[in-house]
């Protein structure tokens, strides 16, 4: 639930600031990527502060769980930067889609094992929320980071002019 709150709240606040304080200087693509970057920043930090619950949510068949938690945390933190620069946003968005698909089994395993982390303690019923949320993250990356990069007015790290 927290990732969804971060994503939506950051997007709404950024959109309102852009509309009323920045005179529409930023694109919707950048607003969406900024919100996704905020979510990934929080998630990436969690990979270094909540290691044991993340290890516990992985399926038993996966080796090197702790190392994988660190690796995925680093990937999420690198994606923050990749999303905010239009030259890397499409590639980052595509990689995030693959990443979101790849981590879904860990979320399913965590829910089936009722891991006390991020709502998974509720068990399999949590999946009725988590799977649609994961699909939202995939769609969000597709819309804001893959197909709409470079359209509209320029963000601070995007190329182009306000007249695009």
Tens-digit pLDDT profile for residues 66-120: 999 999 999 999 999 999 998 999 999 999 999 999 988 888 888 888 887 777 7
User: Does 154 reside within a domain?
Assistant: no
Domain extent, residue 16, equals: 2-147
User: What's the predicted TM-score (pTM) here?
Assistant: 0.86
Q: Which of 55-69, 100-114, 143-157 has the lowest mean pLDDT?
A: 143-157
Higher pLDDT, 57 or 76: 76
User: Does 6 reside within a domain?
Assistant: yes
> At what angle are helices 86-112 and 28-49 packed, to 10 degrees?
50
pLDDT band (50, 70, 90) for residue 160: very low
User: Does 159 reside within a domain?
Assistant: no
CA-based angle 31:37:41, to the nearest 5? Answer: 150
User: Does 162 reside within a domain?
Assistant: no
Inform me whether the pLDDT recorded for 43 exceeds 80. yes
- Specify the pLDDT at position 154: 44
pLDDT, average across residues 115-142: 87
User: Does 79 reside within a domain?
Assistant: yes
Number of domains within the chain:
1
pLDDT band (50, 70, 90) for residue 153: very low
- Specify the pLDDT at position 107: 82
User: Does 25 reside within a domain?
Assistant: yes
User: Does 34 reside within a domain?
Assistant: yes
């Amino acid at each position: 639930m927290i990732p969804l709150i971060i994503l939506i709240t950051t997007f709404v606040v950024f959109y309102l600031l852009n509309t009323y304080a920045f005179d529409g200087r930023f694109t919707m693509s950048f607003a969406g990527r900024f919100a996704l970057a905020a979510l990934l920043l929080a998630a990436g930090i969690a990979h270094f502060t909540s290691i044991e619950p993340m290890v516990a949510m992985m399926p038993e068949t996966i080796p090197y769980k702790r190392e994988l938690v660190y690796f995925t945390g680093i990937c999420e933190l690198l994606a923050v930067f990749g999303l905010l620069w239009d030259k890397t946003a499409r590639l980052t968005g595509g990689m995030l889609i693959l990443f979101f698909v790849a981590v879904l089994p860990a979320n399913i395993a965590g829910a089936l094992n009722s891991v006390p982390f991020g709502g998974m303690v509720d068990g399999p019923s949590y999946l009725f929320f988590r799977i649609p949320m994961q699909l939202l993250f995939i769609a969000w990356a597709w819309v804001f980071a893959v197909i709409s990069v470079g359209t509209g007015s320029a963000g601070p790290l995007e190329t182009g002019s306000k007249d695009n």
